[in-house]
Structure formats: structure tokens, C-alpha cells
Amino acid sequence: MILPALTEAKSPYWRPIKYSLFPPLGLATLAAYCNDDDEINLQDEHVEELFIEDEPDIVVIQVYITNAFRSYKIADHYRKKGTYVCLGGLHVTSLPEEAALHADSIFLGPGEECWPRFLNEFKNGIAQKTYTSTQRTIEFIPPVRRDLIKRHLYLVPNSIVVSRGCPYHCDFCYKDAFFEGGKSFYTQKVDAALSEIERLPGRHLYFLDDHLLGNQKFASALFDGMQGMNRVFQGASTIDAILRGDLIEKAAGAGMRSVFIGFETLNPHNLSQSNKKQNIGKNYKEAIQRLHSLGIMINGSFVFGLDDDDKYVFDRTVEWGVENGLTTSTYHILTPYPGTRLFKQMEQEKRILHYNWDLYDTRQVVYQTKSITEWELKKGYNKAYKDFYSWRNVFRASITHDNFKHIIKHFTYAGGWKKFEPLWNFIIKTKGLNKMLPLLEAVLSKANKRTQNGKIFPSPFPAIA
């Protein structure tokens, strides 16, 4: 089982930390359907050099857009040797005809139902060319084969997924294409999710679900079950789920310490053009204040290049993030992924510049822009990252919090994430990433209650806060 990497992620000289965060859970989940006596070698090229001179019966390759060409190369290499090659993942589901040229079987959509079907048919010599997921459930999936994961190579080995998909339908998102033809949001049983959590050592967890708070009933029961487990965790949510009811308080009580939020844009026209309904008319600032009062740090995600963006959008978005105390920001250049409504629309309008998937990494402009030039978009995107993570702005954003511990956590997390890339590179090379976990857990410790006498330890910057 192979997760190939894009070129940048496997450079022998420089390995950005973002490629060494999470192990390949999807493949480890599929591995769980194999027989006990099936010999499995799970390789992740983001963190190790691939060994492809072996001669297995089957090779399974997970394909996403920027690793697609690399995946096809590896697939062709194995097919030449007579190995049976299976390709699946987001990109295969979006462009099955392209992927089929390099595979014996392709898998469209999530694999929980069609992968075991394939295994059975392969053993009986009747494997088909295309497997399409129709029945969707993860209520009875076997436990992920975590024994196949080389934990020491990842900063966040305890990543976990307890749901699939999300209840929304943003135009630029892969989700609808991947889940076409069946349910597009479903969860594990709460007890199974809690057992999976209990299998994970240490305190830290990272939920990789698209929307951890998307099913209120499930999330509420999950957080109830996590009370007293002494965990700290990170996950993703939408603005509306944070503002609704008391789910976010329950999440904080269960150990949520940072949340990824797709703000995407501060422009309502852009939101409606992107069908990002769940953000429209929502009070971003109220959600931010609520999160900060619970001691939850925020990683805001933003998209540049939507049709209503002007050349000031970059400065405006950075300043907004700093003023509102976002701990980290992730910026993207709008990217029309194949299979999405955005891609179809841009193709109709003849705005796609090329189909070099290597460059569909949300850092390059691959379509014709409207209200700004391509050059302005690329330049503004680079500048936004530089400005948001300047020491000055990291400091300014930190001191928006009203308690000292949150300020320190914010400063350490944001600075550590973006300001010490050479150190991360060294740690990755020396295979010491896993040793950094206690530091991460310390940074994610509770911030909204503090001090020996139970009083809030106030910010030393009251005038600014």
C-alpha cells in the first residue's frame, strides 16, 4: 500500500513540516479488511523513501491531485512487472478515465464497501475494472491497522477520523464529487469512536474529520464520552456549528484546544458565489470570541482569487486575522479541482489555463482571474503569508487575548509552526518528530482557567486586549 508524494515533499534537502504531520489513515483503514495472514507493507513517501523493487500480488496506491503523476509512474512500474495495481482516492474518483489507463482496478468514492468486495473477487479471479462505492456506512468498520503506521515518523501519529464527508456543498470542494451517488455525510457509532480513541497512547488527538461538529447528536455524545479521558485535541468545524447551542462548550470540556475553520472570504458575494451557505450572515467575530473565551485557538482558512476579490483583499484579510487573534492562518489560491462545480463552471467559461495537476496545489494560479491579474493574485498570496507570520503580527495577534496563558500559547504555537522551519527540517531528518509530542501537548494545555487561587491570570497588555 503506497501513498506517493509530490516532489516537494520528498526533497532530500528540505522537508516542510506540513508533510510529516499525519500518517496514511485511509490505507491503514483498508488494510484492516485484509486477512490476518495477508502480508502488508504500508509506505508513505512523504516521510520515507519508497521501496518499489518488490514483487507483491497487489499494489494499492492512494491518489490525490498533486501526487497523481507520481502515482501513475509508480503504477506503471509495477504493472510492467505484472503486479496487479489498484488506484483509488479523490483524484481517481474525479477523473476515472485518466486513472484507468494506469490501473487494473480503480475505486470510485470511499472504499469501505467496495474494497472488501474487490478482495473477495480478486481471490476468486473475477476482479472488475471499476469499483464504485454505493452503500455508505462506517458503523461496522474493523479497527484501523495502526500497527502498520511508523509512528515515529510523524508529528501527529494520533490522528483519527470518526465520520466521512460533511453536510455542506461548497462549489470549490472535492466532497460532492467524491461522495456522488450515495450519502455524503455519515459517522461511526459513538462507542466505536470512543474505543478507537482509547487505543491511542498519550494525550493528544487530531480529528481529521471535515466537520467534527457536523452531526450534533453524534458530536455531543462523543464529547460526553470523552469527559474525564484527559485528552487534548484539535479538529475542524464550521462557523454556524460554533454559534449553535452549547456543542462547542462540550467540545472544550472534552479537551478541544484548537479548531480549523473555513472562513474562506470576508466578502458575502464571494460566499454566495461559492455556495458557502453555512457562512453567510454568520457573525464571525462572535464565533471567534466564543472560542477564545473557551481557550480554543483558531486556525483560519482563507481563499484568494474569488471573482469579487480586489487587490486589497490580501492586506484586508491578514489584518482582520491579526486583529481577531487567529493563531494560524492558512491561505489558498482558488483552485478548480476536477470534478467540482467550480471546475465545470471554469471549463465552460474557458478559464482553465492548463491541466498540469502538479501545479494544482493552491499556491499557483491555474485559471484566468477576473477582478485582479494572475500576477497580483500570486504576489498577494505570497505577501499574505509573509505578513501574517511576521514576528510583529504574531505578537499583535497574541496579545488580543485577555489571559496571559493564552497569549503565550498563541505566540509559541504560531511562532513554532512558521518560524522554525530549519529546526523542523532537522528534526524530520533525524527522525525525532515523535519526541516533540509532549511539547505540542503542553502548548495545547488548558488556557481558560488558571492560577493557584482560581483567578484569571490577566493579560499584561490590557489596553490592547
Does residue number 168 form part of the binding site for ligand SF4 (CB under 6 A)? Answer: yes
Nearer to ligand SF4, 168 or 413 (CB): 168
Query: C-beta of 331: minimal distance to ligand SF4 in Å?
Result: 15
Q: Which residues lie closer than 8 Å to 79 by C-beta, 6 or more apart?
A: 85, 102, 104
Cell of 403: 489571559
78: nearest Cα among 95, 99, 50, 53: 53
Nearer Cβ to ligand SF4, position 211 or 231?
211
Give the span between the Cα atoms of 131 and 118, in whole angstroms: 8
| SS3 at position 358 | helix
Stretch that binds ligand SF4, among 36-44, 169-177, 391-399, 423-431 (CB under 6 A): 169-177
Q: How far is the CB of 169 from ligand SF4 (least distance, A)?
A: 6
Site for ligand SF4 in 97-136 (CB under 6 A): none
Q: Which stretch binds ligand SF4 (CB under 6 A): 134-142, 161-169, 375-383, 415-423?
A: 161-169
The Cα–Cα gap between 113 and 440 comes to 36
Cα distance from N-terminal residue to C-terminal residue, the chain: 50
The reply to whether 239 sits near ligand SF4 by the rule CB under 6 A is no
Residue 279 sits in the site that holds ligand SF4 (CB under 6 A): no
Tell me the C-alpha distance between 441 and 254, whole Å: 15
Nearest distance in Å: CB 171, ligand SF4: 9
Listed in sequence order, the DSSP H helices in 32-137 are: 68-80, 90-94, 96-100, 114-123
Q: Which stretch binds ligand SF4 (CB under 6 A): 112-120, 131-139, 163-171, 347-355?
A: 163-171
Closest CA to 312 of 363, 369, 383, 402: 383
* Interface with ligand SF4: number of residues (CB under 6 A): 10
Q: CB-wise, 62 or 238, nearer to ligand SF4?
A: 238
Q: Is residue 33 a contact point for ligand SF4 (CB under 6 A)?
A: no
Using CB under 6 A, which residues numbered 174 to 233 contact ligand SF4? 175, 210-211
Q: Three-state SS across 271-328?
A: HHHCCCHHHCCCCHHHHHHHHHHCCCEEEEEEEECCCCCCCCHHHHHHHHHHHCCCCE
Q: Report how far residue 110's alpha carbon sits from residue 100's, in angstroms, rounded to the nearest whole number.
A: 17
Least Å from the CB of residue 280 to ligand SF4: 12
Q: Which residue carries 460526553 as its cell?
A: 224
Under the binding rule (CB under 6 A), the answer on residue 290 touching ligand SF4 is no
| Closer of 179 and 357 to ligand SF4 (Cβ) | 179
> Does residue 306 bind ligand SF4 (CB under 6 A)?
no
Q: Any contact of residue 387 with ligand SF4 (CB under 6 A)?
A: no
CB of residue 244 to ligand SF4, shortest distance in Å = 15
Closer residue to ligand SF4 (CB): 168 or 207: 168
Out of 75, 108, 155, 170, name the contact with ligand SF4 by CB under 6 A.
170
Joined together, the cell numbers standing for residue 163 give 465520520
Pick one of 151, 169, 344, 363: the residue that binds ligand SF4 (CB under 6 A). 169
Closest to ligand SF4 by CB, 215 vs 403, is: 215
Helix segments in 324-430, DSSP class H: 341-348, 374-388, 391-398, 404-418, 421-429
Q: Return the number of the residue (224 or 240) whose C-beta is nearest ligand SF4.
A: 240
State the minimum distance, in angstroms, from the CB of residue 238 to ligand SF4. Answer: 6
- In order of 28, 150, 409, the CA distances from 447 in angstroms are 34, 32, 8
C-beta pairs of 265-268 under 8 Å, 24+ apart in sequence: 265/302, 265/303, 265/306, 265/309, 265/313, 265/317, 266/316, 266/317, 266/320, 267/306, 267/308, 267/309, 267/313
Residue 90 C-beta: closest distance to ligand SF4, Å: 12
Query: SS3 letters for 137-184?
Result: CCCCCCCCCHHHCCHHHCCCCCEECCEEECCCCCCCCCHHHHCCCCCC
Q: Which stretch binds ligand SF4 (CB under 6 A): 93-101, 137-145, 166-174, 187-195?
A: 166-174
Q: Which stretch binds ligand SF4 (CB under 6 A): 23-31, 141-149, 170-178, 358-366?
A: 170-178
Q: Which residues contact 458 (CB under 8 A, 6 or more apart)?
A: 402, 403, 404
Minimal distance, residue 127 CB to ligand SF4, in Å: 32
Q: How far is the CB of 328 from ligand SF4 (least distance, A)?
A: 17
271 belongs to the binding site for ligand SF4 (CB under 6 A): no
Separation CA 77–CA 161 (nearest Å)? 32
Closest CB 325 distance from ligand SF4, rounded Å: 22
Q: Does 173 bind ligand SF4 (CB under 6 A)?
A: yes
Assigned C-alpha cell, 252: 472544550
The reply on whether position 242 binds ligand SF4 by CB under 6 A is: no
User: Can residue 263 be called a binding residue for ligand SF4 (CB under 6 A)?
Assistant: no
Binding site for ligand SF4 (CB under 6 A): 166, 168-170, 173, 175, 210-211, 238, 262
